[in-house]
Structure 1
Amino acid sequence: MLTEFVRDQCFTAAWFGLMAFVWFGWAQEDPSRRWRAWLGVGSVLGMGFAVAFGITTALNWDRPTALEGEYAWFGALVAAEVVAAGAGCLVLARRGASRWMAWWVAVVVAAHFLPLALLLNDPGVAVVGVVQLVALGAVVSRLRGSRAPTSRLAGPVMGATLLAGAVISAAISLPGL
């Protein structure tokens, strides 16, 4: 979100929009009645950013990227994230704690933003990750006191922070286009 690479800026807006759509969707697993419309609005906005900035990314694909020469590290980071999320969910399922899967995946995703920020040379990505980790930590006590799936709170936390990141990324990228 704070990178000098316009292509990366556009891609971040698109990817964060897509992931906001995903997280708002997961939050719709078992939402409280008053959150339903907001989750739908968040999903639509996220998809709008994904489409608009996905096209913008494609139109700027010939521009430089911070990932040049770092694709192997990027792949390793994503692979580590997938393995950590999957392994944690497997452990949760075997312990009969499947309702915690959304929260666990959210923590893994948020934590992966910290090294990703280094690869992208973008401190804004790290800020999103830190905000998410703090917010996910803050909702643990509410989640423990409930039997509802953790997607009820983890989904909106992730969706809202990713949508905010998409908006900021989009606003920063527009003057460079």
Structure 2
Amino acid sequence: MLTEFARDHAFTIAWFGIMSFVWFGWGQEDPPRSRRGWLGAGSAVGLIVAGIFGFAVFTRWSDWSALDGQYVWFGVVVGLEVLLAAVGCFVLARRGQGRWMAWWVAVVVALHFLPLAVFLRDPSLAGLGVVQAIGLAVLVGRLRRTQAPTSWPVGPWMGVTLLVFAGISAAIFLATIGSPW
């Protein structure tokens, strides 16, 4: 993350840790047996990252944020994205294509990073969203060749990208801001 706001930086790292936990967890819906341990380990690492940088958010809560004065608009955009994900999942379920729900939610999440980059004044978030969207597009061919839920390949892809981004951001945080404590 490339931001001058320490609280936003710490929050994004912590949030990406939580979200990597969630995506690795969703990936455990029906993975190959040999991948289950890796998914569990990814979830555990995500929680550790979230805990460490969650504390950093707590200690910097009174610091400035790029969202100051924009919370309402940020909430509206996130609310619309959640609605888009929910409506898409509803349509997929009604069409008997519920197995695509993980992929659809991941697309919405990836695209969510474009406005988030504007709100947080951090173009690296847009880069993350583009990388995720390209990966999701590449997965479509593989996903079409099976009738299994899309969560197994999509969950790890999203989890890994979020965790790698959080790791790089944590290194930048430590180098520029210092200890999360």
TM-score, structure 1 normalization: 0.98
Per-residue CA deviations over 1:98-133 (Å, capped at 9, x if unaligned) read: 000000000000001101100000111111101000
What corresponds to 1:95 in structure 2? 95
Report how far residue 171 of structure 1 moved: 1.3
Per-residue CA deviations over 1:131-167 (Å, capped at 9, x if unaligned) read: 0000000000000001110001110110000001111
Q: Which runs of 4+ in 1 moved over 6 A?
A: none
Report how far residue 75 of structure 1 moved: 0.1
1:19 equivalenced with 2:19 (yes/no): yes
Per-residue CA deviations over 1:38-91 (Å, capped at 9, x if unaligned) read: 111100000111111011111011111100111011101110110000000000
What corresponds to 1:47 in structure 2? 47
* Partner Cα distance (1:13, 1:169) in 2: 7
What corresponds to 2:61 in structure 1? 61
* Partner Cα distance (1:34, 1:25) in 2: 15
- The equivalences for 1:97-136 within 5 A come to 97-136=97-136
Report how far residue 4 of structure 1 moved: 1.1
8 Å Cα contact 1:77/1:116 also seen in 2 = no
* Partner Cα distance (1:37, 1:147) in 2: 24
> How many correspondences in the alignment?
177
Q: Unaligned 5+ residue runs, structure 2?
A: none
* Partner Cα distance (2:165, 2:145) in 1: 30
What corresponds to 2:151 in structure 1? 151
1:161 equivalenced with 2:161 (yes/no): yes
Q: Unaligned 5+ residue runs, structure 1?
A: none
AA aligned to 1:35 is R
